[in-house]
Structure 1
Amino acid sequence: MSDLISRHEEKQKSKAKESLERLEMAHIKLDAALGTSEKWQITDASLLRWRKKLKRAAQECDDTLQKCKHRIIEEEQIEQEVRNSAFPKRIAHATKSFISSAFGQNNRLGRSVVRRFE
Structure 2
Amino acid sequence: MFDAHTGVARPPGSLSGGEQFQASLALALGLADVVSQGGSASGRVFEALFVDEGFGSLDPEALGQAVDALHQIHATGRTVGVITHVEAMKEDLQIGIRVDRLPDGNGSTLACHPEI
| TM-score, normalising length: structure 2 | 0.30
**Which structure is richer in relative contact order (CA contacts within 8 A, separation 6 or more)?**
1
- Structure having the higher helix fraction is 1
| Structure with larger Rg | 1
